[in-house]
Every structure is written in structure tokens, then in C-alpha cells.
Amino acid sequence: MDLSVVEQVALLDAWIAEGGVAVLSGAGLSTDSGIPDYRGPSGSARRGSPMTYQTFTSDALARRRYWARSHLGWRTIGDARPNDGHRAVARWQSSGLLSGLITQNVDGLHQAAGAQDVVELHGNLARIVCLDCRELTSRTELTDRMDHANPDFSAVATGINPDGDVEMDDAELTGFTVVDCRSCGGVLKPDVVYFGETVPPDRVATAFDLVENARTLLVLGSSLTVMSGRRFVLRAVREGVRVAIVNRGVTRGEPYANMVIDAPLGIVLPNLASETDNRRFVNTVTVSKSK
């Protein structure tokens, strides 16, 4: 018999209360923070063609176009703040209910909400890496340098993607200056996995370990369309770990999941977190009275 959304949420709350939950989050978790997703209600598959690693490293003009768009997009990504969904996940972690937290997002909002030890599968836009000397620097520093090098840059974004890339009129790219590594003069790149790159194997291995040792894999805001995220669901099924998915719209994980809740994450997750807090309060009072 199919359960109602209310019944599903109640059951999921019980699963979370057992602990040992590995969370896998996707772009849908950040839509309430003003960052559109790829395939959910707030986004399309992707606006424009994605930048590939091969193009970025081999084509200086394409690299300039990318940095102009990314510099503009960072004004949205960098100003984004955690929403109730991020805070709910952080509260579960602080309560000891999570065995691990894996994200496909590059916005850093889990950490901004207070979460720790986040496995960032695809990296983080707030970090910049030099492709030559491998030095890591902050996006804040790069933004200051870009602003100084382009004082008259006033382009307007016509659309933004979850990876921080935007659509803009190519005519506004004229004269945009790209800055290089301060230490060695090398090419700078956001410390994220581009199309054409692979996620570092040690990062994937860590994520697989978290899934295999969990009681529940909880997928939040991911359509699981690409194998990058779906492989963790497949691994959970293989290891006998139950799978719960909370997502708006269709998800390719449905055939493998024990539960799929198609509802707004901004409503479901805070309610679950509140139930967790209420249960902790009741348990604390019970233990205190028994002493």
C-alpha cells in the first residue's frame, strides 16, 4: 500500500532517529538559497554548453570567456546563504545521527550552515587552484584581483547555473582581463571538477565507505540523472543499505529506493529536524527524571 507524504515523512523521521545516516546532497538542496538546480523546477538541464577541462586548458579565448562569466556568477554564488535544508542537515550531524555527508554541490553551503567533514565530490568554487604550481588561494582574493584588473566590467547575467557559470552577451567580454597565479604566473582554475575531468579516486573511495557503513542513504535534492551520484545509490542497494530520496520531480533513483518523497525540501527537512530536536528533548528529560 502506498504511503501518503505525511506517512513517508514520519517513517523517514524514524529512520533518521536510528542514526547511521549518510547524506548525499544535490543542487536541489540549494535552490532555496537562490541557486538554480539543473533539472528540477527552478532550472533547465543547463543553460549553454558546459566548459570542459580540455577547452579551459587549451583555449585562452574560451578561458577568458569562462572567467568573465564565472566572475559575474560569483556575485550570486558567493552571496548565497544556507537555507533551512542545510541547517537541518547540520543539526542532524551535530546530534550524532549522520555517519557521513557527501555533496555534489560546489557552493560550500553545508559548511556555512555548520556542517563538518563534508565530502565535496566536485570541489568548491570558493577555492582557486593554480594548474602549474598547485597553490590554493581563496576566491575572495581572486575576486579582488579581478575587480582591480577590470574596473569597468559591468556585464549583466541573463541566467546562472549551479556551477557559478552564467550566460551573458559576448559583446560585454571585450577587454576583460584574466589574472594569473601570483606565485608562478600559471593558469588559475576554480578548484572544482569540470566536465572531462574525473573526481579524485580517494574522494570517491571515501564516499563509498560512508555509504557502505550507513544504515540509510538519504539523497536530498538530486535527480540522480548522471552516474556521478547514482553510483552511490547502486552501491547502497548492493550492500543492503536502505535508500530514501527527497526531491522535487523525477529521480532516476526511484527503482532502487525504499522511499521517494516528492515534496519541497524547504518544508520536509526543517520538519524532520524539529522532530529530531523534540525527541532529544524528551529523551533528555526522561533520563534526568530516572536519575
For the record, the C-alpha cell of 276 comes out as: 529530531
Q: How far apart are the first and last CA of the chain?
A: 43
Is residue 64 a contact partner of residue 178, using CB atoms and an 8 Å limit?
A: yes
Query: Is 133 marked as binding a ligand?
Result: yes
Closest-CA residue to 104 (of 225, 11, 215, 196)? 225
Active-site annotation holder among 86, 110, 122, 148: 122
Query: Is 130 marked as binding a ligand?
Result: yes
Query: Is 184 marked as binding a ligand?
Result: yes
Closest-CA residue to 76 (of 13, 22, 44, 33)? 33
> For residues 116 and 89, what is the distance between their CA atoms, to the nearest angstrom?
11
**Is residue 122 among the annotated active site residues?**
yes
Closest-CA residue to 149 (of 171, 177, 174)? 177
Closest-CA residue to 221 (of 231, 213, 229, 212)? 229
For the chain, give the number of residues. 291
Query: Is 241 marked as binding a ligand?
Result: no
> For residues 208 and 57, what is the distance between their CA atoms, to the nearest angstrom?
30
What residues act catalytically? 122
Binding site for Zn(2+), residues? 130, 133, 181, 184
Binding site, residues? 130, 133, 181, 184
